A and B are shown apart, each in its own frame.
Chain A
Amino acid sequence: MSKEIISINKKECVHCGICTAACTTGALTLDSNTWMLEYDASKCINCGLCVMACPLNVIMKVS
């Protein structure tokens, strides 16, 4: 299992999907049934673009 590079405050996340536009590797996606945000650490390249894109400031880099 890949190590998580970002952490998402799931209590505050509204699953809007804006971060998925910033994520060019497909690490962040919305589930097509629940429409909840999903994070696949194996695809994350630690670019940090999602951190900047999140309108609610709920995505943080872990280290």
Chain B
Amino acid sequence: MRKSYEEINNRIKEGKAVVVTAEEIISIVKEKGIEQTLKEVDVVTTATFSPMCSSGAFLNFGHSDPPIRMEKITLNGVSAYSGLAAVDTYIGATEPSERDGIKYAGSHVICDLIDGKPVHLKASSNGTDCYPRKEIDTSITLDSINEAYLFSPRNCYQNYAAATNSSNKTLYTYMGILNPNMDNITYCTSGELSPLVNDPYYRTIGIGTRIFIGGAQGFISWQGTQFNTSRERSEKGIPLGPAATLAVIGDLRMMNTNYIKPAVIENYGASMYVGIGIPIPILDEEMLRHVIIENKDIYTSVFDYSVQRRERPVVCKVNYEQLRSGFVEINGKNIRTNTLSSLYKSREIANKLKELITNGEFMLQEPIQKFPVRNNGLKSLEVCDYEKKDKVNNYE
């Protein structure tokens, strides 16, 4: 049995679509079997709510009178990128503020804008004949500016590594607090609810897919940075470590800080919790078999972060059922596990998306271009002597 996007969207419009979450579908198939479930279920919703550092927003302020070509920009004391046209900027989630450092960063500015709060804009310029103003000091809100959209170059990892620390001192990392002597393991995906785990070969998640992002309806705009589908996969097709990623876009004006929040990772840096939900249409039996993936079938590696190198040693391989149990046994010792990603919020988002689709408020969009199922992997940055190696482009 096969269903097309058009057929599923028609059922959504008619209020007849059967939508369940990626957790619910597992027990439904166990109870009713593949064939019956395939007839009954149209869409499975997936979600994640995790710190996603590679996030940020494009803003256009509009022109002042006289106008200014902004060359240095701060928003509430957070530096924003000014290497674009006169009044365009990009503010990155992790950019710390001049006054408060990581305690108030780009992610806080983005969320203050979403909340409708006034934001202090300061900019300077050398002035030009067409943009004579040299300084501006004013207040903006989301309503007072032109475009304001989240554009994140890398969100929503397909699987992710877990972390531990074999050294005798506490480590503060993007994987959270790693206590000494392998006291804990941290991990960061929503497991069987995670979007790309439920569509491991990117049949329905691709460029142009409509998604729920931060409370808004947005889109996948491209493959995310560090997109790596050269990873070894399990029998069920799940990459055994960080693999595909998504570049995503969504209108800040439609967002809600219930689903997107600034985060400060202690002694590491700022980040942003981004809530993303992706619907997966059950087009055929193959798609249904993908979305019944369970935590016990999703494996990742635990890396030792005490080794401060690009390649860290693998301590062991674990599945998400083990990680979710609260303990993983290594060498006869029970090591407690801690998540960084909120399963509570991921479930909330999966259910919200389910509600939107069921009510006919969220239509499915077929990808306009698919992602590569297998690419050439990632390149590394090698440190070389520029003076000796590259004199070809002698622009200095």
Contact = CB atoms under 8 A, between A and B. Distances in A.
Interface of A: 14-18, 20-22, 24, 30, 32, 34-36, 52-53, 55-57
A17 B342 contact: yes
Contact of A24 (B183, B265, B324, B344): B183
A56 B344 CA distance: 16
Given A14-B273, A18-B176, A55 B264 contact: yes
A24 B179 contact: yes
Given A21-B177, A24-B183, A55 B51 contact: yes
A55 B265 contact: yes
Nearest to A30: B339
A14 B48 CA distance: 12
Nearest to B187: A17
A21 B338 contact: yes
A18 B261 contact: no
B266 interface: yes
A10 to B, nearest CB: 11
Most interface-central of A17, A21, A22, A34 (chain B CB within 10 A) = A21
Contacts, number: 68
B274 to A, nearest CB: 11
B339 A16 contact: yes
B49 interface: yes
Given A53-B266, A56-B263, A57-B264, A21 B345 contact: no
Contacts of A32: 324-326
A21 B372 CA distance: 37
Contacts of A55: 51, 263-266, 271, 273
A16 B261 CA distance: 12
Contact of B344 (A36, A52, A57): A36
B115 to A, nearest CB: 12
Interface majority SS (helix, strand, loop, mixed), chain A: loop
Contacts of B339: 16-17, 30
B184 A21 contact: yes
19 contacts: A14-B273, A14-B344, A15-B342, A15-B345, A16-B49, A16-B51, A17-B342, A18-B176, A18-B265, A21-B176, A21-B184, A21-B186, A22-B177, A24-B183, A30-B339, A32-B325, A36-B344, A52-B266, A55-B264
A51 to B, nearest CB: 10
Contacts of B325: 32
Contacts of B338: 17-18, 20-21
Interface string B332-348: 00000011111111010
Given A21-B176, A22-B177, A16 B340 contact: yes
Contacts of B176: 18, 21, 53
Given A34-B344, A52-B266, 17 more contacts: A14-B342, A14-B344, A15-B342, A15-B343, A15-B345, A16-B51, A16-B339, A18-B177, A21-B184, A21-B186, A21-B338, A22-B266, A24-B179, A36-B344, A53-B177, A55-B51, A55-B263
Contacts of B179: 21, 24
A11 B266 CA distance: 21
8 pairs of A and B residues whose beta carbons are closest in the complex: A55-B263, A21-B338, A15-B344, A35-B343, A35-B344, A16-B342, A21-B177, A17-B339
Contacts of A21: 176-179, 184, 186, 338
A58 B184 CA distance: 23
